[in-house]
């Protein structure tokens, strides 16, 4: 059975691509940025793209939406932003909740920045979670969110008559799921309570210890890249003491060098259209780039262009240059043929705002497996019932 999704605040489609790879089918995308909409059309052309304000999108166009997914704009909660949260008119969580209220999907996935969990936002984050749990307990005209929060906190799930969701959230590091980037994001998942399902976030598959083991115990990392082995005796001793003769479980964190294996230097001759060299990269305090033999720093969008420190590659000799759009796309684990529309700064903005595809895929596969448990149970029960009828 096909599971249909609505993507809101879709951006270039990182979360959407992960859902698609996992087996979900897109029904609509809602996105206001014209370049991001062009990216969506180029990569998901067979599906609908609504370019405009989410307030203007007619939810009545949709039928039988199983999943609502998206990344409500994160500037109100960003560590690099103005930290206004609910006072910021870019806070789109209320509109995400409106979609849940109207469509009553089986589940939802929302992603946001780590700053959402800051102590200063804790009360408002609690409000967001409760609104997602009880979407039909709507805010009244002229009612403040603080008063509404008090009403929500007093709700008794047994007496609440609207649709109810079991909501979980967790801070995930994309590097732990095979993304060559240290990127911590809050992921919020809700399951409609009448489905009686239990959600567990997918287990990490990659570790820093395994990367360091392959570098400094076996040297496999350097051999793979055909470069001279480098030693770290202290770390090697520490790892051997911790794990003995056996390597740490799981795969190694992926590095920038891993992500760009086989990719020519942008100044070399090649036929990759979005792999164009951009000069002007410089090092200064707090602006040092991403080490080539580590997962990259978090690729960022930036409020006024791109903060190049995170979007530079730093080679072993200390030199730096900007990532090309193509390289940043690979670091965010988009497919090589994924098209990001717009000039370099706009394309990097879209890439920096995206959910890494591999992280999205891991979450989506876990969600699909969870939802299919219920389908298998129902199918099994129908078989048992049919057998019982025949037996009579």
Catalytic residue numbers read 74
Give CA 141 to chain center in angstroms. Answer: 34
Maximum distance among all alpha carbons in the chain? Answer: 82
8 A C-beta contact, residue 374 and residue 363: no
Tell me the HSE value of 5 on the side-chain side, using a 13 A CA sphere.
Answer: 29
**Which of 210, 83, 122, 102 lies closest to 162, judged by CA?**
102
8 A C-beta contact, residue 4 and residue 65: yes
8 A C-beta contact, residue 345 and residue 278: no
Rounded-to-integer distance, Cα 266 and Cα 253, Å? 25
Exposure class string for 179-198: b at 16+ Cβ within 10 A, else e? bbbbbebbbbbbbbeeeebe
């Amino acid at each position: 059975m096909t599971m249909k999704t609505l993507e809101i605040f879709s951006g270039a489609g990182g979360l959407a691509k992960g859902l698609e790879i996992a087996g979900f089918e897109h029904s609509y995308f809602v996105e206001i940025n014209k370049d991001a909409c062009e990216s969506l059309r180029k990569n998901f052309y067979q599906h609908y793209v609504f370019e405009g304000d989410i307030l203007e999108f007619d939810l009545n166009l949709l039928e039988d939406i199983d999943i609502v997914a998206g990344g409500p704009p994160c500037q109100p909660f960003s560590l690099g932003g103005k930290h206004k949260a609910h006072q910021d008119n870019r806070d789109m969580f209320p509109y995400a909740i409106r979609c849940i209220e109207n469509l009553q999907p089986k589940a939802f996935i929302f992603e946001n920045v780590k700053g959402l969990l800051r102590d200063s936002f804790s009360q408002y984050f609690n409000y967001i979670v409760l609104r997602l749990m009880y979407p039909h307990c709507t805010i009244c005209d002229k009612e403040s969110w603080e008063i509404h929060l008090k009403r929500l906190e007093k709700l008794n799930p047994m007496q609440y008559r609207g649709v109810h969701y079991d909501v979980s959230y967790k801070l995930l590091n994309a590097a732990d799921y095979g993304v060559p980037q240290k990127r911590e994001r809050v992921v919020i998942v809700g399951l409609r309570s009448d489905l009686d399902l239990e959600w567990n976030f997918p287990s990490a598959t990659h570790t820093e210890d395994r990367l360091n083991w392959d570098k400094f115990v076996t040297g496999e990392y350097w051999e793979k890249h055909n470069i001279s082995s480098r030693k770290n005796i202290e770390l090697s001793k520490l790892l051997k003491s911790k794990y003995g003769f056996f390597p740490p479980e799981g795969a190694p964190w992926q590095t920038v060098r891993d992500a760009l294996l086989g990719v020519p230097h942008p100044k070399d001759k090649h036929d990759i259209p979005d792999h164009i060299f951009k000069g002007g990269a410089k090092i200064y305090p707090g602006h040092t780039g991403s080490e080539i033999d580590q997962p990259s720093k978090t690729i960022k969008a930036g409020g006024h262009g791109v903060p190049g420190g995170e979007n530079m590659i730093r080679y072993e000799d200390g030199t730096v240059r900007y990532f090309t759009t193509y390289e940043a796309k690979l670091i965010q684990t988009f497919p090589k043929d994924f098209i990001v529309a717009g000039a370099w700064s706009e394309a990097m903005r879209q890439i920096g705002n995206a959910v890494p595809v591999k992280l999205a895929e891991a979450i989506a596969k876990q969600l699909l497996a969870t939802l299919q448990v219920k389908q298998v149970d129902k199918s099994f029960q129908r078989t048992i019932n049919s057998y019982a009828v025949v037996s009579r």
